[in-house]
């Protein structure tokens, strides 16, 4: 086969699908999870700072560094394994350790992350979680443990991936500042399947937290949208009045339109990200293939009751903001139409005035033409009398008689000449 040139990104595209493998997690074991995000402009953050923070942690354990520009890392640090991922707005750290803590969800598990290292993090904590993975040959004792570890009214528990595992959590922050998740694996379940389920739980929690940022952005916009609505209503009321100054109304409309568009620009990324994160949360829940466990609510039902209403609020606010923008555009169209109508009326009045002026000018011109006929005839008669002076003696006619005879003839000829010139000009 003759050689063919590869696209520059061919291998990068293919490798991207395998860049974030699932961890292999044994049971029993435990995991500590951390997601870090800068408070502002997370998408435009300095990613070299994320890498430097990761390398600082690896150096403390003498672990191998990731590849340059890597977005994923998995390796051994001390007695534990670390999984690191870089995302659009945040980075995540997951540490896996063998065995179980004597006290369930002991905060000391999170102590694998050094305190001073946490203080130097290039961002703020979005979420953190402690995950306990146990071996459970049957269902006995699972519900008792879940009720003791989690708040019963918020407890979500279900069988997942064909009853190979049972997962539980309440999505509440415990006194140590962490979420809690429990995974009960059947003895025959492989390590990679356990790792996939643990990864899904971490993703559900992280993307749920990121989605909820959109809810609080929507709440912040509530009072601002109310003010926009009042100002637009007032502008439309002013437009209804015949005495409103279009220039003043236009200035007010431009101000509120600019504020609305600026708000849309500032909120579009957060609302767009919220929609994407919501989709990921729902996909991750669906992948678990949940079945009800002892009649308790599943993760999907928990999201439907608590998470979905929040997302509908975000979508409603986004739609309301866009409706405000459309309303401002329609108000601008109405104002433009009103100005065009008023301008057309002014133009019509101007044309009417010009028609009257032209008619007056025409009448004046005809008057002047009539007077010019008289003036020209006067001089022409004098010229004729001077020219026919010798005939007075020959025919015995007096000058007044000659004037009386010549005047009608000269006037008729002058009038005919002026009329002919006017027709040629027309």
Q: Are residues 176 and 66 in the same domain?
A: yes
Query: 82: part of which helix (H) or strand (E)?
Result: strand 80-86
Distance CA 155, CA 169 (A): 6
* Residues 6 or more apart in contact with residue 323 via CB below 8 angstroms: none
Would you state the pLDDT for residue 244? 67
DSSP lists the bridge partners of residue 158 as: 167, 292
Considering the domain architecture, whether residues 230 and 287 belong to the same structural domain is answered as yes
Q: How many domains does the chain have?
A: 3
Closest alpha carbon to 163 in 182, 142, 184, 141: 184
In a domain, 370, yes or no: yes
> Does residue 247 lie in a domain region?
yes
Closest CA to 91 of 42, 36, 46, 54: 36
Say if 268 falls within a structural domain.
Answer: yes
- Note whether 252 and 332 are same-domain residues: yes
Cα–Cα distance for residue pair 398/392, rounded to 1 Å:
6
**142 inside domain:** yes
Q: What is the distance, to the nearest Å, from the Cα of residue 207 to the centroid of all Cα atoms in its chain?
A: 20
Whole-number Cα distances in Å, 243 to 28, 216, 350, 426: 80, 42, 21, 46
Same domain, 344 and 364: no
Among 132, 156, 189, give the residue marking a domain's end: 189
Q: Mark whether 312 and 372 lie in a shared domain.
A: no
Nearest to 324 by CA among 220, 214, 233: 233
Give residue 50's pLDDT: 94
User: In sequence order, which residues have a C-beta less than 8 Å from that of residue 344 and are 6 or more positions away?
Assistant: none
pLDDT at 426: 63
Last residue of a domain, one of 348, 371, 391: 348
Quick one: 44 and 185 in the same domain? yes
Is the domain of 165 the same as that of 58?
A: yes
Alpha-helix residue ranges (DSSP H) falling in 288-307? 299-302
Of 348, 368, 386, which residue sits at a domain end? 348
Say yes or no: 108 and 141 in one domain.
yes
| pLDDT number for residue 90 | 96
The reply to whether 204 falls in a domain is no
Cα gap 81→76, rounded to integer Å: 4
Q: Are residues 85 and 231 in the same domain?
A: no
What is the residue range of 86's domain?
A: 14-189
Burial (0-12, 13-18, 19+ Cβ within 10 Å), 235: buried
**Tens of pLDDT, residue by residue, the chain (426 residues):** 567 888 888 887 887 777 677 888 999 999 999 999 998 889 889 899 999 999 999 999 999 999 888 889 999 998 999 999 999 999 999 999 999 888 899 888 898 899 999 999 999 999 999 999 999 999 999 999 999 999 999 999 999 998 899 999 999 999 999 999 999 999 999 999 999 999 999 999 999 999 999 999 999 999 999 999 998 888 888 777 666 677 788 888 888 889 999 999 999 999 999 999 999 999 999 999 999 999 999 999 999 998 999 999 999 999 999 999 998 888 887 777 776 677 777 778 788 888 888 778 777 777 766 667 677 776 676 777 667 666 666 666 666 766 766 677 777 777 777 777 767 766
Domain assignment present for residue 4? The answer is no
Whether the CB-CB separation of 309 and 228 falls below 8 Å is answered with no
296 and 385 housed in the same domain: no
Domain assignment present for 195: no
Radius of gyration of the chain (CA): 45
Task: Determine, yes or no, domain membership for 7.
Answer: no
Is there a single domain that holds both residue 337 and residue 392?
Answer: no
The count of other CB atoms within 10 Å of the CB of residue 217 is: 18
Please check whether residues 390 and 304 belong to one and the same domain. no
Sign of the four-CA dihedral 233, 235, 236, 237:
positive
Please indicate, yes or no, whether the overall pTM of this predicted structure exceeds 0.85.
no
């Amino acid at each position: 086969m003759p050689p063919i040139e590869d696209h520059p990104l061919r291998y990068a595209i293919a490798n991207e699908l395998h860049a974030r493998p699932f961890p292999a997690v044994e049971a029993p074991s435990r995991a500590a999870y951390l997601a870090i995000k800068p408070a502002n402009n997370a998408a435009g953050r300095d990613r070299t700072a994320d890498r430097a923070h990761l390398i600082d942690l690896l150096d403390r354990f003498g672990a191998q560094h990731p590849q340059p520009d890597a977005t994923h890392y998995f390796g051994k640090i001390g007695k534990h394994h670390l999984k690191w991922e870089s995302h659009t707005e945040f980075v995540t750290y997951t540490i896996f350790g063998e065995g179980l803590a004597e006290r369930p969800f002991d905060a000391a598990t999170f102590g694998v992350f050094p305190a001073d290292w946490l203080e130097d993090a290039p961002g703020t904590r979005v979420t953190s979680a402690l995950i306990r993975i146990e071996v459970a040959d049957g269902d006995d004792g699972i519900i008792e443990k879940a009720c003791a570890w989690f708040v019963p009214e918020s407890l979500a528990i279900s069988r997942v991936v064909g009853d190979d595992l049972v997962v539980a959590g309440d999505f509440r922050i415990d006194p140590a500042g962490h979420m809690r998740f429990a995974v009960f694996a059947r003895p025959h379940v492989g390590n990679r399947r356990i790792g996939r389920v643990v990864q899904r739980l971490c993703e559900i929690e992280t993307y749920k937290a990121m989605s909820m940022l959109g809810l609080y952005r929507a709440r912040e916009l509530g009072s601002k949208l109310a003010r926009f609505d009042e100002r637009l209503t007032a502008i439309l009321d002013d437009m209804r009045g015949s005495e409103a100054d279009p220039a003043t109304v236009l200035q007010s409309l431009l101000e509120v339109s600019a504020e609305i568009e600026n708000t849309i620009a500032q909120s579009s990324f957060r609302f767009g990200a919220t929609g994407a994160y919501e989709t990921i949360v729902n996909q991750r829940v669906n992948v678990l293939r949940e079945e009800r466990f002892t009649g308790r609510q599943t993760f999907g039902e928990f999201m439907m009751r608590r998470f979905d209403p929040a997302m509908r609020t975000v979508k409603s606010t986004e739609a309301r903001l866009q409706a405000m923008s459309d309303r401002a555009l329609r108000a601008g169209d109405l104002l433009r139409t009103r100005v065009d109508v008023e301008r057309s009326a002014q133009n019509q009045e101007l044309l009417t005035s010009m028609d009257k002026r032209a008619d007056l000018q025409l009448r004046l011109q005809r008057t002047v033409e009539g007077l010019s006929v008289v003036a020209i005839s006067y001089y022409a008669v004098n010229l004729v009398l001077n020219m026919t002076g010798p005939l007075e003696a020959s025919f015995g006619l007096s000058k007044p008689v000659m004037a009386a005879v010549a005047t009608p003839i000269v006037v008729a000829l002058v009038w005919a000449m002026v009329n002919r010139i006017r027709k040629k000009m027309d």
